[in-house]
Amino acid sequence: MEKDYFSFLKKKISKESFDKIAALGNSKVVDFIGEYVELCNPESVFIRTDSVEDSDHIREKAKTLSEEKSLGIPGHTIHFDSSLDQARDKKNTKYFISKDSKGQDYLNGVDRDQGTSEIRDILKDIMKGKEMFVCFFCLGPVDSDFSILAVQITDSAYVAHSEEILYRPGYEQLKKNKESEEFFSFVHSAGELMDNVSKNVDKRRVYIDLENNVVYSVNTQYAGNTVGLKKLSLRLAIQKAHKEGWLAEHMFIMNVSDQEGEKSYFCGAYPSMCGKTSTAMLQGESIIGDDIAYLRAKDGKAYAVNVERGIFGIVKDVNPKDDPVLFESLTKEGEVIFSNILMDKEGGVFWIGKSEETPPKGINYAGEWEPGKKDSQGSEITPSHKNARYTIRLNDLKNVDENLENPQGVEVKGLIYGGRDSDTSVPVEQALSWQQGIIAKAASLESETTAATLGKEGVRVFNPMANMDFLSIPVGKYIESNLSFAEKLINPPLIFSANYFLRGKDGEFLNGIQDKRVWLKWMRLRSESKVKALRGPTGLLPEYEDLKRLFKEVLDKEYSEAEYIEQFTIRISENLAKIERIKDIYKKLEGIPECLFAELDAQNNRLKEVQKEGGDYINPKNLSCEVSL
């Protein structure tokens, strides 16, 4: 006999909270909340509606519970995670796998029965003596066919506050959809606390139930593990998108304007440390989102929305010179949550790369700090963690695009796939076709590690569509979803590759930091068929005269033919080696579509034909190819 959670909640929680739940008129929501109120056994339950008063309650509760502390600038707060809880926990992020399931061997999985038993044992009475926060959100703009409703249960006011900034309110949306039985669900507890941080990080678990669209997160506070609507919901969305024929991608959405100010929107997928945020925040353009996009086909065109309304971004190296718009938003009055940076006794803050003098002392995630302080392993503790973060609303940025909340989304003219590549790919290149772009650029994406992050530079990491960490379906099916998406489109967006990290013979970067502004302008011109391109073996290249003009118009910079030749020389041997690397990876995976190998073989043949005529390094001005619009 099923539990009557309606009657249980009526007795268990306050009348105010019960009335808020009852007003939703959704029995599945009642059952979900009731099940975890019973299991987690909180002292009290707070139901967050879309009201300002409810938002204020959570914001103030975060400070009352000392999960956040007020800073010197009004509206700014700081949060500290445990020194052992500073990043996404890949090892302990696992999917429930059924014994009879097929094609899920690639997932980091745990047996469904075992995982369910383990997580329920951990959750049993975990909120005793605490307040449970139940929050309702909307992934994507409200009143949109892109929207996905979500319910978050947490005992962390910091997590609830972060989501209040990052996501649209969903209580009234759920009211409008009383009969809806599909929503994403998240259950989180920071677990036992010591000095206001999770004590049992060694028992941290992030378990994902794809069958029921539920994510569990325990014994952790770091937002990447606890803000369920971010990368955790992306995993749920990828599966849903595959079933329904749309795309859930790890992409920014930005506008690239022309000289008259007319807008044209592009999406871009870049692995970490490859220029994703710096591209989305380019000077002179406007931003819709920096992280996750949903794409749907409508009337033969591709449209996209930002899943979020805020940014949970890395604060390291944000400074007034390189990031003037963002820096201004982080240093003016308004709602900002900083995490794991340095706070001085006056409530001022400092992070690595802020372009200010380091304070002589302060408090950070490791406690009292001063220069030279070391951790238990003898390593020096930096003033702020390299993964320190800020959380803000996009509407607090001067360059936010007016279509951020457009329920129709924005039409996408181009998809960009960027990686960190020192010796192979040219700075910008257009794919020869949708299929060649998805296979030879998106599904073949690699990124080189940096010494700053892993201690060893130049290791190539395979990361198709910059989404490998978040795939909840087999890679082959994911590629098929991307390929078949174009079948719904009359004029699919053009596909481009970008590489800001190509080096010359002397080992120096061939691209300036601002050069990406030119590459984006060229992409826009190509999407409108306003400039021609040289047809090469791996894609379509810019002509020199077009780039010379753009460098002058956009950057007021002279661009020499010598620079052009060095940047856009086709490196035949390096490209051939990459094809072999990618093929070797895919040969070890099951269910990869045959067209992937055929497309890579075709590119291999084109490269070898050009190699026979011109050798290993092909001057773009000597391409014996037609100029193509």
User: pLDDT at residue 453 above 60?
Assistant: no
Banded model confidence at residue 458, pLDDT cuts 50, 70, 90: confident
Contact indicator for 99, 111 with CB cutoff of 8 Å: yes
pLDDT at residue number 178? 82
| Angle CA 99–105–107, to nearest 5 | 105
* Long-range CB contacts (within 8 A, 24+) of 191-200: 191/122, 191/126, 191/218, 191/219, 191/220, 192/219, 196/65, 196/66, 196/67, 196/80, 197/80, 197/81, 197/82, 197/85, 197/221, 198/81, 198/82, 198/85
Q: Where are the domains of the chain?
A: 5-66+88-229, 248-309+404-628, 312-396
Q: What is the pLDDT of residue 625?
A: 53
Taking domain 312-396, whether its CATH number is 2.170.8.10 is answered by: yes
What global pTM score does this model have?
0.95
What's the pLDDT score for residue 127?
A: 98
Binned at pLDDT 50, 70 and 90, residue 354 comes out as very high
Best-predicted range by mean pLDDT among 173-177, 270-274, 333-337, 344-348? 333-337
Using DSSP's 3-state secondary structure scheme, residue 98 falls into coil
pLDDT value, residue 246: 98
pLDDT exceeds cutoff 60 at 455:
no
pLDDT at 454 over 60: no
Task: Provide CB contacts within 8 A for 440, sequence distance 6+.
Answer: 431, 538, 539, 599, 600, 603
pLDDT tens by residue, 262-301 = 999 999 999 988 889 889 999 899 999 999 999 999 999 9
Q: How far apart are CA 340 and CA 381, in angstroms?
A: 12
Query: Regarding beta strands 336-339 and 310-314, do their DSSP bridges make them parallel or antiparallel, or are they unpaired?
Result: unpaired
By annotation, the residues acting in catalysis are 274
251 vs 102, more confident: 251
pLDDT digits (tens, 9 = 90+) for 397-424: 999 999 999 999 999 999 999 999 999 9
Q: For the structural domain made of 248-309+404-628, what CATH number should be given?
A: 3.90.228.20
**3-class secondary structure, 79:** strand
Query: CA separation (Å) from 297 to 245, 307, 602?
Result: 9, 16, 29
Give the residue-averaged pLDDT of 519-548.
96
pLDDT at 628: 58
Residue 426, both tokens: 């040219």
What one-character DSSP code corresponds to residue 327?
H
Is residue 106 predicted with pLDDT exceeding 80?
no
Tell me if 395 sits within 8 A of 309, measured CB to CB: yes
* End-to-end Cα separation, the chain, in angstroms: 67
| Alpha-carbon 366 to chain mean position | 27
The percent of residues above 90 in pLDDT, for the chain, comes to 88
Pick the CATH number of 5-66+88-229 from 3.40.50.300, 3.40.449.10, 3.20.20.70, 1.10.540.10: 3.40.449.10
CA distance linking residue 185 with residue 271, whole number of Å: 27
DSSP 374: B
Binned at pLDDT 50, 70 and 90, residue 43 comes out as very high
Residue 105 or 608, more confident? 608
What value does the mean pLDDT take over residues 331-344?
A: 97
Name residues whose C-beta falls within 8 Å of residue 23's C-beta, 6 or more positions apart in sequence. Answer: 175
Cβ neighbours of residue 594 closer than 8 Å, sequence gap 6 or more: none
Give the model's pLDDT for residue 101.
67
Amino acid 452: pLDDT: 42
Three-state DSSP class for residue 393: strand
Neighbours of 610 (CB within 10 A): 21
Each residue's pLDDT tens digit, 148-177: 999 999 999 999 999 999 999 999 999 998
Which pLDDT score, from 0 to 100, does residue 456 have? 62
According to the model, what pLDDT value does residue 312 have?
95
Instruction: Measure the CA–CA gap between 441 and 523, rounded to whole angstroms.
Output: 15
SS3 131: strand
Checking if the pLDDT of 428 tops 50, the result is yes
Token pair recorded at residue 184: 């994403």
Identify the CA nearest to 329 among candidates 75, 69, 71. Answer: 75
Q: What is the mean pLDDT of the chain?
A: 94
pLDDT at 99: 77
CB 419 within 8 A of CB 276: no
